[in-house]
A and B are shown apart, each in its own frame.
Chain A
Amino acid sequence: MTEYKMFQGCTIGNRIPFLEASARMVFDKLGIKTSEGPFACCPDPVGFNSVDHTSWLAMGARNLTIAEAEEKDIISLCNGCFQTLKLVNKELSHDEHEREKINKILGEVGKEFKGTINVKHFVEVLHEVGEEKIKESIKNDLSGLKVACHTGCHYNRPSEIVQTDDPLKPVKLREIVAATGATPVDYDEEVLCCGAGVGNTEEEPAMQILANKLSSAMNAGAEAIIVNCPACFQQFDTNQKKAEKQTGNSYGLPVLYVTELLALAFGMKPDDMGIKFHRTRPKDLLEKHNLA
């Protein structure tokens, strides 16, 4: 059985670890094995790459060498970490000039990038495990639950490099969600960014994008948003009140990580996965669908 190096990233690991709790419960149930590694920041494809591209490449490459030393692929719980590691891996594997440049830098700390491992997003891995195996573990059929799927940008773009899913009409998250019995609704703004990136520069446009997204999901009848990225999670969950305040709209839309949805469907308890740490309140939703 393949064992992956777990890359939970800074946001999940050191800020909202409850997302990791549900991920590990689901991985255990589905037989996905992981082990830890002394990884640094991936680093952030939005923040750190915008500061200095060469530093971003070198830091990303250093993380990859840690997994290479154990000859294990990386599984990422975060879109940002996934995109950085995947892009760096690809750029350095295919561009000899860049690889030489970065390896000269890594040589200072006795490391060398070889390009011998792969980087996977956890949604890819869950999708490979397959609908059948997910269905076998289901204790609570979620039929009747309508949700809006949001994969976020760095899961499936740039598609030529990450090759996870359709870049503008992703299907894997929807299929995983559908395996629980829940219905992924069609909504106009499904591929729209959550707005977190521009929020680093200015809050107002970020909240407007978020509000447009939430309105679209609610108009389609969604009772919750399902995400697979901690940055998107924080935008939808932590910032939902701000978007309500700015626009005067009222949403109150719960946000669940796809691993939380799966864990609930597998019969695991909300308290065991720390759902109480969400800012948006899923209590009514959980009660309505007998998941509390």
Chain B
Amino acid sequence: MVSVDFELRKKVMDAHIGDTLKYCYQCNRCTDVCPVSQIAPDRYNPRGNIMASFLGINLFMGQKDNFGIWGCTVCDTCDEICPQKIELTEIFTVLKNMSIAAGEGPDYYTTQASTIYDAGKAIPSQPAIERRREQLGLPKVEEPDVSEVQKILNVTKLNKILNK
């Protein structure tokens, strides 16, 4: 029995301001050009993700293998090729944000976000690289105001998402 997840449907539709999503006629060009679908056709299918999104069928949460959404390599090729100008990658971002909020995203993503929260940078400065910069005659990288970054990310509630 397939049931409609109205919350998923509302989130996807709200985020997609252009409202083009409902004009998808499942031509499959997105999947045809998708580099991940080419090598893993049984595991990642952007066309299927779009169909499920606009029907509100939640194929994405609570799965053991969530490669079905996290397999996206964010190359934006599907966006370019879509004859209906659907911004597929934006919809996939909504799905990924929901997956993270449900605590189901791959570790890489939450670990990186956590580093950005703590240091203001995805890759914090480190003494060995600072020395190498000096040897190469490069100026010091100016440090960001981390307290400002954290204030912002507390307002957006990223601290809650990351359990900080």
Q: Which of A's residues lie within 8 Å of B, judged by CB?
A: 8, 10-11, 13-15, 17-18, 20-21, 24, 36-41, 43-55, 58-59, 62, 95, 105-106, 108-109, 153-154, 157-159, 167-168, 191-193, 195-198, 200-202, 205-206, 208-209, 212, 273-274, 277
Contact = CB atoms under 8 A, between A and B. Distances in A.
A240 B105 CA distance: 27
Nearest to A111: B148
A65 to B, nearest CB: 11
Interface string B75-93: 1110111000001010001
Contacts of B17: 95
A47 B79 contact: no
Contacts of A192: 35
B108 A47 contact: yes
A14 B124 contact: yes
A20 B105 CA distance: 33
Contacts of B161: 51-52
B57 interface: no
Nearest to B112: A47
A18 to B, nearest CB: 6
B2 interface: no
Q: Could you tell me the dominant secondary structure of chain B's interface residues?
A: helix
Smallest CB-CB A-B distances: 6 pairs: A197-B73, A40-B144, A157-B76, A193-B75, A198-B73, A10-B123
B35 A62 contact: no
B101 to A, nearest CB: 8
Nearest to B143: A38
Contacts of B39: 205, 208-209, 212
Given A157-B76, A198-B71, 10 more contacts: A14-B125, A14-B126, A17-B129, A18-B136, A38-B144, A41-B122, A51-B100, A105-B155, A168-B81, A205-B71
B6 interface: no
Contacts of A200: 106, 108-109
Interface stretch (B22-30, B47-55, B113-121): B113-121
**Most A Cβ at <10 Å: residue of B74, B125, B156:** B74
Given A43-B116, A200-B109, A159 B80 contact: yes
